[in-house]
Amino acid sequence: MQVGYLGTYFMIRSTGAKLFTGSVREANETLYGFEWADGEVTTGSAGLGFKYEGVPDVPVVNRPPVKDFDVHDAPRREARAQEQMHAFFSTGVIADPCNGQGCYSPTRQH
């Protein structure tokens, strides 16, 4: 079972993890109750959203993605996310690989 879009934000907020200010928001939503991170996170945890071209916006209800548009593992295949993971595992620092501009990708990578 995968964690859906709404569940991901619930987990980030309820665990006290920070959310990068440049995190992609579906339908330009307003998010409340988060501790925001503008730069590197050196303690605790952080969340970051990615958006892929050709993938429809998430539904406004909490249900799993349609199989043809499932991007659950897409960020870990993307160079920016891999750089973020490498930096974290090497230094313990969580950085926003998209520099506050939102992580938009032209296509998802299979």
Q: Distance between CA 9 and CA 25 in Å, rounded?
A: 11
Amino acid letter, 107: T
50: number of Cβ within 10 Å: 20
- Helix (H) / strand (E) containing 36: strand 35-37
Residue 89 in domain:
yes
Q: How many domains does one find in the chain? A: 1
pLDDT by residue, tens only, the chain of 110 residues: 566 677 788 899 999 999 998 888 777 778 888 999 998 999 999 998 888 888 777 777 777 777 777 777 888 888 999 999 999 999 999 999 999 888 887 655 54
Residue 78 in domain:
yes
Its pTM stands at 0.79
Residue 110 in domain:
no
59: containing domain: 5-105
Q: Distance between CA 17 and CA 33 in Å, rounded?
A: 11
Among candidate residues 69, 55, 53, 65, the one with its CA nearest the CA of residue 104: 53
